[in-house]
Structure 1
Amino acid sequence: MNAGAAGTPAAGALRTLRYAALLATYVQSVNVSIPNAVLRFIQASTSMADDQAGWIFTSYLAASAISMPVASWLAARFGVKTMYQAALILFIVGLWIATCTTTPLEFMGARIIQGVAAGIIAPLSLSIALDTLPPAQRPTFGVPYGAAVLLGIVSGPAIGGLIAEYHGWHTVFYSSIPVAAVIVGVAQCSLERKKAPTTPPFDFFGYGTFTVGMIMLQVLLDRGERMEWFESREIWIEAMTSTLAFYLFFTHVLTAKTHFLGKHLFKDRNYVLSTILFFAFGFVLLPTLALTSPMLDEILGYPPITTGGMTIPRGVGLVGTFLLMTRMPPLIDNRLVIASGVAVVIYANWLMLGYSPLMDWTPVAVAGFVQGVGMGMLMPSITKMAFSTLSPTFRPEGTGLFNLARVYGSTLGIAIVQACFYNNTQAMHLALASHLTPYRSAVHSVTASTPLQAVGALNEMITGQAAFIAVVDQFKILMLAMVVVIPLVVFLRKPGPAN
């Protein structure tokens, strides 16, 4: 009885810690997309150009991708509790700085700080939550953890739009600070301060070259349009640095015995193909939000609360289908589910090609919901296939690379569609303006007190039309990304009974 009495508070503390870890996972995920519905207000407050808006997302994602692989090593070196609390405090600092910024560079710096902290919070939250569970229950914890990640990403714009509508965009970031502070307090009270007896080896050379290569590639994609691509010396330097870094990384992989990404992972066909599919999943997941919200907010002029609300059907479809998929009978061939999920996403993006400036909210809600259903089918089925034939010994390492593929898919996807968007906007603006004559009805529909104002109003109308066409064209890129990877499903192997 004494043991039971003594064990009850401990069990309650572990449960509280587990919920706090899930909440931390949700908070760092929601801050990926929470600025979506308030982009034009952030741009106005920081004098941010239109072609810099994508950096709001890519800076956060790229920074989290950099810190994520080294999180476990830092926890072993300095202790889980120390690193977890430090990351949460750093996250709070990044949120606070974001509310004080007045220039684009300051705001990007705040997002980078948030991203670095988020890259540590996410894996450590999973590790902490798993430690609070008996071994028999740990394999099923991926369901609530995955749901927390997805729910955070898809609910961010709705929450941001609702808060900004009544309290301004700064409150969007302020709102996460007390939540993160509570999690720090829970960790202080419930998380044991322990450190690994020895610090595990870590391939810093491989990690460093891979990270430099990805950073330079990301900067190249983000800055290319503004710097006129290879007309700029800066772009040449970034391209050559990225190429050299990747050359050193792959040489290191082929020659070293131990390295950042183990060769054994690439010997499992299902794992490699599933990781590529998960990269494509990330390539579509966040770039769709990065295109839809500005389309509604800046081009069609919807208020923040409406812009955020338009993401709710997509979130309902995604999270609801994800939870249903966890109860799928094991007799169903997972390859068929993956193929069906990709087909549904392709169909959803095809629906998005039919968007029109004259539409109401219905097409956006329907296409978003359909895409959410497809994505909800894909995430659990791809994850299951990736680890179905991988040795349990390699699963911790494989999990890190697998999640990294989704993050890099999102950050590179956003950079690519943003670069193509602004290039297409300029091309469409020229095409539309070239067909404008004094006899066009559009010319006479513009009313202004002076000829100069009339020209300005006409140019603004053409720019809006060009931007809308360019946005729709980017949904075609996302659709083609899924079309390209669907043949990979044919090469997946059906796991044996033992798996």
Structure 2
Amino acid sequence: MSAAPAAPGDATLVLPPSRRILITIGVMSASTLMALDSTIANVALPSMRGSLSATTDQIAWVVTGYIIASAIATPLVAALSGRLGRKTIFLSSIVAFSVTSALCGLASSLGELVVFRVLQGVSGAAFYPLSQAILLDITPRERYGQSMAIFGLGVMVGPILGPTLGGFLTEELSWRWVFFINVPFTVGSFVLLALFLPGAARDRSRPFDLFGFVLLSLALGSLQLMLDRGEGQDWFASREILLELGIGSTALFMFLVHMLTSPSPYVSPAVFRDRNFANGLIVSAAVGVVLYSGSIVMSTFLQELRGFDVMQAGLLLAPRGLGTAVGMLLVGRLIQRYDPRGILLVGLTIVAISLVDMAHFTARTDVMPILFSGVLQGLGLGLVFVPISTIGFATLPPALRNEGASLHTLSRSLGGSAGVALSAAILSARTEGDFARSLADVAPLDRDFARLAGPLLDLSSPQGLEIVRLMLARNALETAHQATFWFLFAMVLAAVPLLLLLRRPPRAGVPAPTSAAPAPHPSDAAPEA
């Protein structure tokens, strides 16, 4: 099936509304599955560990392998879709994701499961960037906000609902169903896109930059591995972490030099000349920090301090997704009437307020304030995601959309990985440090403390000393969570000044500024079959 641009110079494809809806359902089914799979397996790790006779460190590779593989493969999507066709890559990725999901569920050993999860991460890497690029291509510019609201709904809500769904499937069926559940949805997505997604132009004139790809893959893989394993390896006290940092930093430096000097680089420098898009990448990374880290930190708070089990914690986190959905629905309408930069500022402010509220949580905090803060944070995230996507892509030349969407996805993922790693480091360091200081403070006061405790607590007995240690450890964990929420608040605050660097995107019918020249678009580009 073919479709023509709306007008000369306009990349929007003219499609019947019913066909646009079916394409949207197809691409969003795939993207939501990718978002769900980033967190759905986390709560099932203990069950997998017992079933496959693995250690805690070994089973962690089920998550780590998926994340690293996806990060490495994401930049490759733009190059392959340009040469082989966007539709071909998307459909092939859906088939591969479906097959590898089924293989993950059928795995009989840890080695098999890790290999299949790596392949699943590679297969699904195309879903985010291509879904975003496709939605932009089939949507008129004046409706970009609504289009990005739909895209953001799946991307933002998926990771939040993942633990809840994963806990339910693991308890009621088996950990294998956190993978099997993907199969029917991928089949439906494949059928819709095979029937209704139009082909796009291919660009075979630009040679594939193998050297650039190897350098970027090495940089992303090494740095991602450092972030994922740093906490367990005591960070820079470990030779492994220092080696990964050295390899990643060197490869990244070489990649940047190569990108700026090569005639046909793996990532075109032209994409960074668009000021809105470049600054939007940083804000997107900050959103990734709060989206992933906030969920994990709150989950540990609910389980370790408030005493909820995995399923209960998942249910208490679910309203955060409800807030995000409401924010997406609101912003889809507001963005047509108001400056997206103003909406972005409101969203960041709401997220910041929610984090200040969470930074005051204690082990005695009631459920209602927890639910309210979660909904508030979700609302703010919903108001942030759509404007930053709209602002970033409104002035980006259509020829750079595939690359832009890949980088947008990558920045959010890397922000999430860095945020999770830093949050875990803060939690660990503050818990150990506060516990040690509290223990040192109590030691000189043992006699007075024993007099006050009286017969309720005998400090001369091992049981009494253990009770004191547990009390101090609990208080240390509480202050550590508060410090981590303050760190996330600081990350949001740091993103606010970047709003001053953003230009208001052009309204419908107004030509976009040409500050960033489009990448070469060969006249002999062959239409995709």
- TM superposition score normalised by structure 1: 0.83
Q: In the alignment, which residue of structure 2 is the partner of 1:362? A: 368
Deviation at 1:369, TM superposition (A): 1.2
CA shift, 1:355, in A, is: 1.2
> How far apart, in 1, do the equivalents of 2:203 and 2:270 lie?
27
Secondary structure at the residue paired with 1:359? Answer: coil
**Does 1:115 pair with 2:121?**
yes
C-alpha separation between the residues in 2 aligned to 1:287 and 1:189? 39
Q: CA deviation at 1:401?
A: 1.7
- Which of 368, 376, 379 is residue 373 of structure 1 equivalent to? 379
1:489 Cα deviation after fit? 1.4
Equivalent residue number for residue 482 of structure 2: 472
SS at match of 1:390: coil
Q: Please state how far the C-alpha of 1:94 moved relative to its aligned partner.
A: 4.3
Alignment TM-score, normalising by the size of structure 2: 0.78
1:85 is displaced (CA, Å) by 4.8
Superimposed CA distance per residue, residues 22-43 of structure 1 (whole angstroms, 9 cap, x where no aligned partner)? 2122111111122355565556
> Which of 57, 66, 79 is the equivalent residue of 2:72?
66
Specify whether residues 91 and 391 from structure 1 end up closer, same or farther in structure 2 by C-alpha distance, changes over 3 A only.
closer
1:207 is matched with which residue?
A: 213
- In structure 2, relative to structure 1, the CA distance for the partners of 1:88 and 1:463 (3 Å cut) is farther
Does 2:223 correspond to 1:223? Answer: no
For residues 95-494 of structure 1, the aligned pairs below 5 Å read: 95-96=101-102, 98-99=104-105, 109-125=115-131, 139=144, 141-184=147-190, 196=202, 198=204, 200-328=206-334, 330-436=336-442, 439=449, 462-494=472-504
Please give the per-residue CA displacement for 1:327-358, whole angstroms capped at 9, x wherever unaligned: 11545232222222212111111111111111
Unpaired runs of 5+ in structure 1?
Answer: 1-9
Aligned residue for 1:147, secondary structure, equals helix
Tell me the CA shift for residue 224 of structure 1.
2.7
CA distance in 2, matches of 1:373, 1:178: 31
Letter aligned with residue 475 of structure 1: F
Q: 1:109 to 1:435 in 2, by over 3 A?
A: farther
Task: Look up the SS of the partner of 1:494 in the other structure.
Answer: coil
Q: d(CA) in 2 for partners of 1:461 and 1:154?
A: 31
Change (3 A) 1:271 1:443: farther
Distance 1:335 1:55, change over 3 A: farther
Note if contact 2:320-2:377 (Cα within 8 Å) is conserved in structure 1.
Answer: yes
Which amino acid in 2 is paired with 1:154?
I
When the two structures are aligned, how many residues end up with a matched partner? 487
Q: What CA RMSD, in Å, does the superposition of the two structures yield over aligned residues?
A: 3.9
Note if contact 1:33-1:156 (Cα within 8 Å) is conserved in structure 2.
yes
> Is the alpha carbon distance of 1:124 and 1:378 closer, same or farther for their aligned partners in structure 2, counting shifts above 3 Å?
closer
Q: Secondary structure at the match of 1:327?
A: helix
Q: Distance in 1 between matches of 2:401 and 2:205?
A: 20
2:129–2:405 Cα contact (<8 Å) kept: no
Task: Give me the whole-angstrom Cα distance separating, in 1, the residues matched to 2:235 and 2:411.
Answer: 26
Change (3 A) 1:420 1:107: farther
The 1:62–1:488 alpha-carbon spacing in structure 2 relative to 1, beyond 3 Å, is same
1:394-451 Cα distance to aligned partner (Å, 9 max, x none): 344323222221121112211221233223332233233334555458898689xxx7
Mapped to 2, the partners of 1:216 and 1:206 lie a distance apart of: 15
